[in-house]
């Protein structure tokens, strides 16, 4: 399938064919085989029959729209904090500085993490702490919907991680350990693309080309096409393919941390979002191990011929640096706080 030219974007970009993992499939060997093939090829695949109802997903999207329709001055009162909780305005994030000239991403977002009270010792660590919520009664049911989705999406991520563990010849519960997904850094991000038309020739993107930082990402989207992947980041020129939305499915991709863990056997793939003038909503769920987890080459992914390519690193240290590299300093928003 090919798409028409998007006002300056590349013409005739193809739609990628991705494997589909059915989490209700009793044949785990088939699921492992399909997932392993996807992880070796491009690091992107669909997940269906994941246990979250379509009715509830529609509620999540409806509540997301309710928030983003607020006036900007009201949304700015919930501006993200140093823990990366809360609202991120248009242009806040710059994912591809080499190609996004002078501007960041043409999207706005809202971060929601694992809720940790201020008196919890873990709340001192980056990425742990209390969330930023709209005032009670302003958006009825909003917080409850997002907390429920956060909980249910984590269970889906754990189920996918078990299949990944088997695909890496590890014990099925490898990622279930307390220092991994037993106490994860799991972040829900609501996203809204306002209907801007992207133009790669001018460095204008809905989201610039990037790979995700963590273990895996789950993405639910509306029916507006926009996500693209580049299976070979070193190709000249790079070839981009659209990922089609599938109703009821999550689009799942591997992050850099899993590529690092697997010694580059599994791929974390470049992706971006191009706007075509249509408003677009998506819900991303980023899953990383605990703050103190040491990410080092897996025993099944190294040998004398293939020694570890990366030194060990703490998850929290790695994520903190990646967020600093891609987000605006909060001080630039001081004028909005008065």
Residue 104 lies inside a defined structural domain of this protein: yes
Residue 178 lies inside a defined structural domain of this protein: yes
In CATH, what number is assigned to the domain containing residue 252?
2.60.120.330
Residue 65 lies inside a defined structural domain of this protein: yes
Residue 46 lies inside a defined structural domain of this protein: yes
Lowest model confidence (mean pLDDT) among 41-55, 84-98, 140-154, 312-326? 84-98
Domains held by the chain: number: 1
pLDDT for res 332: 57
pLDDT for res 126: 72
pLDDT of 35 higher than 90? yes
Residue 338 lies inside a defined structural domain of this protein: no
Residue 7 lies inside a defined structural domain of this protein: no
Domain with 226, as residue range(s), is 20-333
Q: Which helix (H) or strand (E) segment is 60 a member of?
A: helix 54-68
pLDDT of 120 higher than 50? yes
pLDDT for res 10: 44
Instruction: Give the integer Cα–Cα distance in Å for 185 and 236.
Output: 36
Residue 11 lies inside a defined structural domain of this protein: no
Strand partners, 252: 45, 218
pLDDT of 159 higher than 90? yes
**What is the chain's percent helix, strand, coil content, to nearest 5?**
30, 20, 45
pLDDT of 320 higher than 60? yes
Residue 24 lies inside a defined structural domain of this protein: yes
* Per-position b or e across 175-201, b if 16+ CB within 10 A of its CB: beeeebbebbbbbbbbbbbeebbbebe
Residues of the chain above pLDDT 70, percent: 88
Residues 207-250 pLDDT 10s: 888 999 889 999 999 999 999 999 988 888 889 999 999 999 99
């Amino acid at each position: 399938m090919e798409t028409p030219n998007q006002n300056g974007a590349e013409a005739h970009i193809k739609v990628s064919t991705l494997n589909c993992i059915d989490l209700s499939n009793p044949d785990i060997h088939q699921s492992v085989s399909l997932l392993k093939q996807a992880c070796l090829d491009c690091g992107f695949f669909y997940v269906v029959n994941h246990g979250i109802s379509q009715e509830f997903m529609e509620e999540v999207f409806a509540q997301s729209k309710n928030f983003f329709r607020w006036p900007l001055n009201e949304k700015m009162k919930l501006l993200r904090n140093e823990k990366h909780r809360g609202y991120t305005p248009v242009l806040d994030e710059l994912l591809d500085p080499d190609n996004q000239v002078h501007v960041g991403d043409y999207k706005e977002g809202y971060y929601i993490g694992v809720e940790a009270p201020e008196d919890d010792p873990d709340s001192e660590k980056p990425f742990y702490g209390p969330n930023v919520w709209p005032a009670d009664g302003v958006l009825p049911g909003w917080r409850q919907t997002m907390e429920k989705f956060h909980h249910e999406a984590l269970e889906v991520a754990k189920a996918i991680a078990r299949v990944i563990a088997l695909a890496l010849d590890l014990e099925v519960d490898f990622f279930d350990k307390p220092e991994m997904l037993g106490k994860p850094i799991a972040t829900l991000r609501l996203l809204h693309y306002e209907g801007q038309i992207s133009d790669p020739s001018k460095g204008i993107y809905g989201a610039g080309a990037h790979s995700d930082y963590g273990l895996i990402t789950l993405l639910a989207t509306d029916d507006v096409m926009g996500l693209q992947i580049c299976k070979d980041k070193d190709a000249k020129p790079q070839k981009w393919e659209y990922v089609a939305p599938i109703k009821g499915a999550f689009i799942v991709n591997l992050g850099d941390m899993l590529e690092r863990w697997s010694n580059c056997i599994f791929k974390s793939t470049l992706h971006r979002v191009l706007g075509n003038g249509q408003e677009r909503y998506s819900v991303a769920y980023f899953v990383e191990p605990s703050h103190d987890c040491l990410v080092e080459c897996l025993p099944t992914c190294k040998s004398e011929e293939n020694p570890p390519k990366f030194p060990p690193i703490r998850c929290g240290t790695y994520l903190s640096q990646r967020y600093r590299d891609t987000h605006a300093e909060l001080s630039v928003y001081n004028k909005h706080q008065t």
